[in-house]
Chain A
Amino acid sequence: MTPDDLMKRVAAVVREEADDPRLEAIEPLDEAAKTRIAENVASAIRARAARGVRRKALWVAAPLALAASIALVVSRGLGGGDDIPRYTLAVSGDESPLRSRPDPSQGSEVRVRRDGRLRIVLQPETAAHGAITARVFVARDREQAAGGAAETRPWPAAVEVSESGAVRVTATSDTLGTLAPGSWTVLVFVGRAAVVPADEAAARRAVDEGTPKGEQLARIPVTIVP
């Protein structure tokens, strides 16, 4: 096959993409979504100017389909293990009184409806070498449970891990609906398969005693609203 033949075949794939009839079903962004994105960008630019530093990256992953909602964006760094890179955390829920926080390193609570959508992205600052595993649990202590029993359990949210070690956790109504309304903590363990907790007992130990080398833990306070 000549190089030109190869290019013609690749070009045919491009044409196939453009001819996909499902493209007609894609609706343009509505005004609320566009306004929200524009405000997100503008606020990020102004925040960067105020700090006088250049931001490395801006992570926003708002569920735009929820036109009436407000995206909450949180970014903070997680300490890196010895053999895995430092991670940056970004969370978006579908409902919050806050659009952003001046000091996201202090953490904040994401509000999400049981029929809503929660997205958590853990982005390594440098590509992770070797396989990265991620497991997700949900927990609440007695205070969060309002006098009920504390609990920690695996949470079957969709987890995707990229080649570079980036982790994306997506929870929709299937998984959010398993949580009773109220306060919860989503625990996302990222690291080597050998050390990432495989069950709730191991997850509780990691929370109480700290994570071992080769593992990081993101704790995301979440309020589930009916």
Chain B
Amino acid sequence: MPAPYDGGVTSPALSKEVLARALEGDTATIKLLLDRLAPIIQARAARVLMRRGEDRKGREIRQEVEDMTQEVFLSLFDDGGRALRAWRPELGLSLENFVGLVADRQVASILRSGRRSPWKDEPTEDDALAPHVGSHEPLEHDLASRDLLVALLDRLREELSPRMLRLFYALWVEEKPVPDVCEELGMQPQAVYTARNRIAARARQIAVDLQPMSDRSPSPQTPREEPT
């Protein structure tokens, strides 16, 4: 089982103090950050760009990856470095892992809309995704088409907070047991189960939204009225 989204351990070299110096514009510290973070950002960008550019030449893809790596790294410093300031090591994510998740979000946003996603504060676990819970629209079997799954993945990466995205990777991609996820992210089991249900509910709603109208079945909750 690959573990591509395990960000490893928190490096003492990449502390809040190091970030503060980088955010003040210290070139050497920014370079240090880049040395550590560029490979992670590159890997995240490359996966998505290669999946999207299957018919393109290797050199073009490499150039796109390099451009995207720079774009995502720069996004970390947008708005006074808001994204970097949002990193809280006490919540269990190493900076490398956190930046990888931010990179997922930025790559998805840039490719979809041409712009970087404005940084949003991390929602609390209680209100994250809450508005989407309770959808009962039907989900057709052909939602399993690859194009739709890819679009759904992009939307999840763009919408989920880094912490929720990490949960998605841990639970479904790496298939980690809940106790391991609890340990990694410092969460209680119930909070993990709740978040898992909410992520799945949100994904389901996105899938319904992405499904062409013609493919949707009438909802059993809104039966079609027969003419009288």
Assess the B23–A45 pair: CB atoms within 8 A: yes
Residues of B within 8 A of A54 (CB): 79-80
Q: In the bound complex, what is the Cα–Cα distance between A55 and B81 (angstroms)? A: 11
Residue on A nearest B64 in the bound complex, by CB: A170
Shortest A92–chain B CB gap in Å is: 9
Contact (Cβ within 8 A) A29 B66: yes
| Chain A: interface residue total (CB-CB under 8 A) | 63
Cβ B62 vs Cβ A20 within 8 A: no
User: Are A60 and B173 closer than 8 Å at their CB atoms?
Assistant: no
For chain B, what secondary structure do more than half of its interface residues adopt (helix, strand, loop), or is it mixed? helix
Contact indicator B207/A27 (Cβ below 8 Å): no
B153 adjacent to A10 (CB under 8 Å): yes
Q: Flag the segment in B90-98, B109-117, B120-128, B216-224 that touches A.
A: B109-117
**A45 in contact with B24 given A23-B50, A34-B34, A64-B67 (CB within 8 Å):** yes
Stretch at the interface among B11-19, B138-146, B178-186, B187-195: B138-146
B77, A15: Cβ atoms closer than 8 Å: no
- With a cutoff of 8 Å between Cβ atoms, the chain A residues found around residue B80 in the complex are 48, 54
Segment from A95-103, A160-168, A177-185 that makes contact with B: A160-168
User: Whole-angstrom distance between the alpha carbons of A87 and B65 in the complex?
Assistant: 25
Check A156 for interface membership: any CB of B closer than 8 A. Answer: no
A208 at the interface (CB under 8 A from B): no
Binary contact readout B64-104 vs A (1 if CB under 8 angstroms, 0 otherwise): 01110111011001111000000000000000000000000
Question: Is A131 an interface residue when CB atoms closer than 8 A count as contact?
Answer: no
Which one of A10, A37, A163 has the greatest number of beta carbons of chain B within 10 Å?
Answer: A10
> CB < 8 Å: which of B115, B139, B197 contacts A164?
B115
Interface size class of B (residues with CB under 8 A): 35 or more
Is A13 a contact partner of B150 (Cβ separation < 8 A)? yes
Interfacial chain A residues near B79, Cβ < 8 Å? 54-56
B207 touches A6 (CB 8 A): yes
Q: Does A213 contact B (CB under 8 A)?
A: no
- Chain B residues with CB below 8 A from A42, complex form: 25-27, 30
The 8 A CB mask of A92-124 against B (1 = contact, 0 = none) is 000000000000000000000000010101010
Structural contact, A6 and B114, CB atoms closer than 8 A: no
B3 nearest CB neighbor, chain A only: A18
A41 within 8 A of B: yes
B63 touching A38, Cβ below 8 Å: no
Known A-B contacts A1-B143, A8-B172, A23-B46; the reply to A28 vs B61 at CB < 8 A is no
**A149 at the binding interface (Cβ < 8 Å):** no
Which chain A residues have a beta carbon within 8 Å of chain B's beta carbons? 1, 3-4, 6-20, 22-23, 25-29, 33-35, 37-46, 48-49, 54-58, 60-65, 117, 119, 121, 123, 127, 160, 162-164, 166-168
A sample of 9 cross-chain residue pairs with beta-carbon separation below 8 angstroms, ordered by A number, consists of A1-B144, A4-B200, A10-B149, A20-B51, A26-B43, A28-B38, A37-B34, A62-B67, A123-B114
5 new A-B pairs (CB below 8 Å) besides A11-B168, A37-B74?
A10-B153, A17-B48, A20-B50, A55-B79, A61-B71
Q: B-side interface residues toward A, CB under 8 Å?
A: 2, 4-5, 23-27, 30-31, 34-35, 38-39, 42-43, 46-48, 50-51, 58, 61-63, 65-67, 69-71, 73-74, 77-80, 112-116, 139, 141, 143-144, 146, 149-150, 152-153, 156, 168-169, 171-173, 197, 199-201, 203-204, 207
The 7 closest A-B pairs by CB, nearest first: A166-B114, A162-B114, A45-B25, A3-B200, A11-B172, A17-B47, A38-B31
